Structure 1
């Protein structure tokens, strides 16, 4: 790998004091050294920004966003910084992760050997059980809901050869800077959740391939950085599912998705949360449904016949909601 390649690692933080140190340590221990770390703080109140400055000094570049810009806009601050600095690659990385020492080198080597690939990701495995997969790409259903591919399966059973995917997770998203200059950054209207899938769709429609690179790993605390905001997660996931469908899905699938969401999924979610005495969660689903319906019926689709075929091939037709994992502790 050329030593002239410039890679920026973006670590977005929001009150992640307990996560940041082991994440940044793993980047500083990478086999490849031409790496610049951007620590992007979304107005944390737990002293995590100050702690990182104390622990890592000038080995990290710090950007204080002053307030919570959420995932998309918060990372876009760093992406713009990296693009202005003539980055070759940008690695969007959750702060609740630990990268293997060869991670960035192997991802870079793969991208250099595959110039048509716009983004890739390592295999994400669970922090406490490294043989359990956390993400091997993203799956998108007929209803616009997205989840991590092969989640919960054994990592040791997965072949080490690259896997083509239709979605790369924002938890460890290794992006070709030139591709971002062409298609743009994260869509900030998504705020958080599914913005990685939306960017993946744009990259796909621009002619880029997306891959999972399983021969390098990142350990991830599943839902670690957002485990305390379950109602917020419900709202954004539900709302953004509608937005994804309204923007990209072909017209016939949009209609089917609307029927499935309004007649089955949303009412069922509201009822289940009422039965489990979670009125806040029911309200979050209702608000998301109301806002999402406006978006689903008003957003003009960006697709053309050729693009419709690409998007249709990316949709998982056998499952309409994420599979339930009994072993998953977070909501």
Structure 2
């Protein structure tokens, strides 16, 4: 009987201490702390967002300063300190991204980044809507609503099991969170600066408190954004091939001493270049002279030999003043020829033949 009473008292004390620790570790974010972390956020927006934000963080187990600092740092970078809940780009870069579930034409623009964590892709919208009970696949613009947007951000955070890395409170663990959310390290400097500022602001209320347990409800793991490429399968090992037997060493040729090559000298000297001719001005232009008028073609008369002269017959008669048919001498061609008193030689006449 005494043992039963003592056991009941011990269980009561243990349960009460657990409640005290849970109440100390689990805390809600205030509007002033949210404004300090999200620089540039107005007071009215901070009061509007702090309620849905705390509700979403409680549903995902983000209830310690360490987890809240990492979560808010990522949200602050993705949404510009909670100023825009929709991606500025058109979304054409996500065309054909089957890892995001964009299999239909137009999925790139329709399912671009929305919400404070910029959820992207048809697969993520479908999985988030199924987990939250909202038809986000057919109505993706609902993710821009702050109440639904913070819930999608908490679902995305919890679906990657990021609380375990936030509990480590180290820079390497925060880099893993950045990699799983962004798929890379875009804006790493800004994320790290916001993480350090959130740690400093939330550390006033005890940053090293004991973390609470993860929620017991199972979470469906959709495709990551973007999905890391799987590693290639290793090739099967090649069969062992026997090595070649060693061969005896062969002596190489004796090295020749270095003999520098003689410089290049041409056999014949090059011819000297001719001096340039002096400049001679060109002749002035003269117009061409008119040529003679064209004469029509007139064929020459055919060749016809002259008639043979009469045979020479010397006359033994007395001289007379009658000219003979043949001169007594052959006249010369000179202009000062001797006058002939005899009959001139017979020359054929072409009169009438032309």
Query: Which structure carries more strand by proportion?
Result: 1
TM surpasses 0.5: no
Higher relative contact order (CA 8 A, sep 6+): 1
TM-score (norm: length of structure 2): 0.21
Specify the structure having the higher radius of gyration (Cα). Answer: 2
